[in-house]
Structure 1
Amino acid sequence: MRLFIWNILLGFVWVTLTGNFTGSGFLAGFIFGYVVLVFVCRVSGSMTGYTRKIPQVIGFTLFYIWELILSNMRVAYEVLTPSHGMRPGVIGLPLDARSDAAITILANLISMTPGTLSIDVSSDNRMLFIHAMHIDDEDALRADLKDLERRVIELLS
C-alpha cells in the first residue's frame, strides 16, 4: 500500500513538473513513477507484491479484452448469418477456486463475455453451472474456462 501511495505522489510530481494538468498527464506520471519504483525495488532487492502485481493485472486485462473481442465476433457472426449454427447448452465447471471473491469474479467475467452466462454455483462451491451459446466441444469449452479460472486465482493470490 505504501508503494501505491508513493506511485500516486510521483504521478502528481510529474504533473507539477511538466505543467500538464490533465488525466493523461497524470497517467503518464503514474506509469513513469511505477517504472522508477520497480527500478528502486530491484536495486534495493525488495520486490514487493505491488511491483509484481501490476504486470499481472495488465496481462490479465489484455487477455480478457482479447477473449471479449473473439466472443463478440462469434456472436456477431451468428446474428448476421442466415444459418443457425448455435448449439446452446448448460455445462458444469468444476471449480479449483475456493474463495467467494474468486468465484464471484470468475462468474461475473464469464457472464460479461457474450455467448456465456453463469447460472448458479453449487451449495458446496465446487461447481459453477454455465449456459453457453456454442457448445461444439464441451472439453474445449471447459479448458478455456479453466484457463480463465487459473488466471483469476493467480491474480488474487
Structure 2
Amino acid sequence: MSQFLFNILLAFAWMLLTGESSAPSFISGMVVGYLILWMSRSAFGKETYFSKIRQVTGFVLYFLKELILANLRVAFDILTPKNYLDPGIVEVPLDVETDLEITLFANLVTLTPGTLSLDVSDDRKTLYVHVMYLEDEEQFRHELKDGLEKRLIGVMR
C-alpha cells in the first residue's frame, strides 16, 4: 500500500513539474511514477504492488468485457421481435468471505445487465441471483465463480 501512496505522490509531483492540473496529467504522472517504482523495485524489497496492478487491470478489463457483452445481449433482445427471456433464480455458493468482498461481488453482479443480486444467505455462504437469460444454471454458476469471483478474490487478497 505504501508503494501505491508513493505512486500517487509521484503523480502529484509530475503535475507540479508539468504545470498542468488535469486528469490526463495525473494519469500520465501515475504511469511515470509506476515506471520509476518498477525500475527501483529492488530497493523496496516487495513486488506485491506490481502484481496487484496487473491483477486489478485484468479484473477491470474482464468486467468491462462482461458488461459490454451483457449490454449487447439485452439490447439485442429489446430490438428483435422475438422474446429471448428465460428468467430464473440461481443459488451461487460463495468463496468470498468478508463483508466487503461479498458486497463488492453482489454489486458487480447487479451492475451487469441481465442479472440482479437478490439476497445473501444467513450463513453468508450463498448468493441468490436473478438471471434474465438462464439457459444452463450450472454454466451460469461456473461463469460467475471462475470469472468474476475468482478475479475479485485475486484483487482483494
Q: Taking structure 2 as the reference length, what is the TM-score of the superposition? A: 0.92
Closer/same/farther in 2, CA of residues 103 and 3 from structure 1, 3 Å limit: same
Provide the rounded CA distance (Å) in 1 between the counterparts of 2:152 and 2:29: 28
Deviates more, 1:14-23 or 1:114-123: 14-23
SS in 1 for 2:116: strand
Deviation at 1:34, TM superposition (A): 0.9
What is the 5 A alignment of 1:131-150? 131-147=130-146, 148-150=148-150
Provide the rounded CA distance (Å) in 1 between the counterparts of 2:84 and 2:63: 25
Match of 1:152 in 2: 152
Code of the residue aligned with 2:87 in structure 1: it is: P
Q: Name structure 1 gaps, 5 residues minimum.
A: none
Deviation at 1:142, TM superposition (A): 0.7
Aligned 8 A contact 1:38 1:47 in 2: no
Provide the rounded CA distance (Å) in 2 between the counterparts of 1:21 and 1:128: 43
Provide the rounded CA distance (Å) in 2 between the counterparts of 1:112 and 1:16: 37
Percent sequence identity over aligned pairs? 44
Q: How many residues align?
A: 156
Asked if residue 27 in structure 1 is aligned to residue 27 in structure 2, the reply is yes
Match of 1:110 in 2: 109
Provide the rounded CA distance (Å) in 2 between the counterparts of 1:5 and 1:33: 11
Provide the rounded CA distance (Å) in 2 between the counterparts of 1:37 and 1:93: 40
RMSD: 1.5
Deviation at 1:45, TM superposition (A): 6.6
Provide the rounded CA distance (Å) in 2 between the counterparts of 1:135 and 1:79: 17
Provide the rounded CA distance (Å) in 1 between the counterparts of 2:63 and 2:9: 30
Aligned 8 A contact 1:117 1:131 in 2: yes
Match of 2:39 in 1: 39
